[in-house]
Structure 1
Amino acid sequence: MPTKSASEISTHPVNLRVRDDVRVLIDRAAKAHGKTRSDFMIDAARRAAEDALLDQTLVQVDPESYKHYLAVLDQPPSGEGFERLMSVPKPWQA
């Protein structure tokens, strides 16, 4: 698939109302990263959008696998690792 050149990519304005203290914070962070306010905000918004979409993972399994999964979750914790974790002194009980 051919890529578009910079002159072929269209951009659209997005207007935001932001408190002065938030704008100052964004400007400081943008300057620390060597970016403009717009570039910094676009990068941050894009990352947040990707994270929001990636957090919506759908896993589909057959009914038998789902029953097995629920059965495993319903079992009480056990094993060497669990026993070791439970035997560690609690900081709030010291």
Structure 2
Amino acid sequence: MYASVNEGLANETRDVTINIRAKKNQRDLIDRAAELQGKSRSEFMLESAQKTAQDVLLDQRFFGLDEVKFQQFVELLDEPPTHHEQLHKLLTTKAPWD
């Protein structure tokens, strides 16, 4: 449904302008990051904004269920978790940086 972040950008003519105002330190930070990726400020900002917009929209996905399926879903959520040894080990092992 949503195009990938880079899909079509190279082949499409950009026909609208987006203007934003920023603080100098924000611009400088963006410029450094863009340079590291070999991109212009505009390319970097547009790709970053597009990816964030896609993430926001995808996080808001709706799925509808009829009454029977919804009840089954709720029952599955309400069931106590099953014991999973590897998951228990993962969650109880101290992180190397702690």
Q: TM-score, normalised by structure 2?
A: 0.69
| Alignment RMSD | 2.7
Correspondence for 1:29 among 10, 30, 33: 33
Between Structure 1 and Structure 2, the one with more helix by share is 1
Cα distance 1:89–1:43, how it changes in 2: closer, same or farther (>3 A)?
closer
Greater gyration radius = 1
Q: Calculate percent identity across the aligned residue pairs.
A: 34
Query: Which structure has the higher relative contact order (CA within 8 Å, separation 6+)?
Result: 2
Structure 1 gaps, min length 5: 1-5
Q: Counterpart in 1 of 2:88?
A: 85
Q: Counterpart in 1 of 2:24?
A: 20
Figure out how many residues of one structure are paired with residues of the other and give that number: 83
Cα distance in 2 between the residues matched to 1:10 and 1:38: 12
Query: What secondary structure sits across from 1:59 in the alignment?
Result: coil
Correspondence for 1:40 among 24, 38, 44: 44
Q: TM-score, normalised by structure 1?
A: 0.72
Q: Counterpart in 1 of 2:79?
A: 75
Cα distance in 1 between the residues matched to 2:14 and 2:39: 20
Structure 2 gaps, min length 5: 1-10
Q: Counterpart in 2 of 1:3?
A: none
Query: What secondary structure sits across from 1:53 in the alignment?
Result: helix
